[in-house]
Amino acid sequence: MTTTETPASPPPPAAPKPSGLQRMAGVLISPDETFASIAQRPSFLAPLVLIIIVWAISGVIFAQRVDFVAAARESMEERGGMSDAQMESALRITGIISKVASYAAPVFVVVILLIVAAILLLAFRMMGGEGTFPQAFSASLYAWMPQVIKGVIITIIVALKSGVTGLDIPVLVRSNPAFLVTMKEHPMLFALLTNIDLFGIWTVILFIYAFAHVAKVSKAKSAAVVITLRVIGALFGLIGPAIQSLRK
């Protein structure tokens, strides 16, 4: 008597890879599942293109609409010791540098995200985590989506509002309590309060989800690393305002 073997059933087809648009929406709605997918199959194009477009548009609008010279003029007048010709020359250079920096904003943002991804990956690897740079960079791009939203809002406000100066930008969106004080009178407190930002906190939370999956660590461990590095970055950002406070 012969027996016939039942042929093995073929493996189920792999789930289709979510599109970049689906992932950008997913990190805002269901970050845990979305970052698990991103860590498994990294992608770059969609978030990278969106970030470049948003910051390119904002850079052009900032260069044309924001007065970066007013604050510099006021500071120079308070310090004194410069002739009118020297002041005008310095202000002209300040204006040129500000415009160039505005137009180059997309490059700066991408470089910053490359550095952030590298630092976070190194930190997690030193703590025993896993992950590759493509995974870290892809996760960082998608975790940046709250900043993209904030960038769009600020750009719209700048385009519609007249008389915006460089000092106004951190508080154009009332997402942090820095608008309660003035940078001129309380530079340290102002800088500190800008770090207590709803979009910034949202971004930190997404980075925690992202690197929990990239490094294959618990969310508690991911939070400890991400928040520690964020605090260190904030402290470095207080150096300038601290020097400004000492000059008062």
In a domain? residue 78: yes
Residue 173 vs residues 92, 149, 177, 180: alpha-carbon distances, Å? 29, 11, 10, 13
Is the Cα dihedral 182, 183, 186, 188 positive or negative?
positive
**Residue whose pair of structure tokens reads 């020359």 in the numeric block:** 89
What percent of the chain shows pLDDT beyond 90? 61
pLDDT over 50 (residue 1): no
Q: What is the mean pLDDT of the chain?
A: 88
Q: How confident is the model at residue 37, as a pLDDT?
A: 95
What are the pLDDT digits (tens) for 139-150?
999 999 999 999
- Lowest mean pLDDT: which of 14-28, 74-88, 227-241? 74-88
The structure tokens 């305002």 sit at: 241
Q: What is the pLDDT of residue 10?
A: 56
What is the pLDDT averaged over residues 7-17?
A: 57
Owning domain of residue 101: 43-247
Q: Which residue has the higher pLDDT, 176 or 79?
A: 176
For residue 247, what pLDDT band results from cuts at 50, 70 and 90? low
pLDDT value of residue 237:
86
6: in domain: no
- Taking alpha carbons only, the member of 246, 1, 29, 36 closest to residue 139 is 36
The C-alpha atoms of residue 130 and residue 74 are separated, in whole angstroms, by: 50
**Which pLDDT value is given to residue 113?**
97
The residue-averaged pLDDT of 115-129 equals 95
Tell whether 29 is covered by a domain. no
Domain assignment of residue 36, yes or no: no
pLDDT single digits (tens) 31-46: 999 999 999 999 999 9
Q: Is the pTM of this model over 0.85?
A: yes
Say how many CA atoms lie within 13 Å of 145 toward its Cβ: 24
Mean pLDDT of the region 191-198: 92
In a domain, 9, yes or no: no
Q: Nearest Cα to 143, choosing from 54, 228, 236, 226?
A: 226
Roughly what angle, to the nearest 10 degrees, separates helices 31-40 and 198-214?
Answer: 50
Q: Residue type for 186, please?
A: H
Closest residue by Cα to residue 164 from 95, 94, 63, 92: 63
Percent of the chain past pLDDT 70, that is, above it, reads 90
Partnered with residue 165 across adjacent β-strands are: 67
Over range 233-247, report the average pLDDT: 80
- Given this model, what pLDDT does residue 166 score? 84
Looking at residue 90, what is its pLDDT?
Answer: 81
Question: Region 36-61: what's the mean pLDDT?
Answer: 95
Q: Would you say residue 21 lies in a domain?
A: no
Question: Does residue 202 fall inside a structural domain?
Answer: yes
pLDDT at 154: 95
Would residue 119 count as lying in a domain? yes
- Number of structural domains (the chain) is 1
For the cut 80, the answer to whether the pLDDT of residue 201 exceeds it is yes
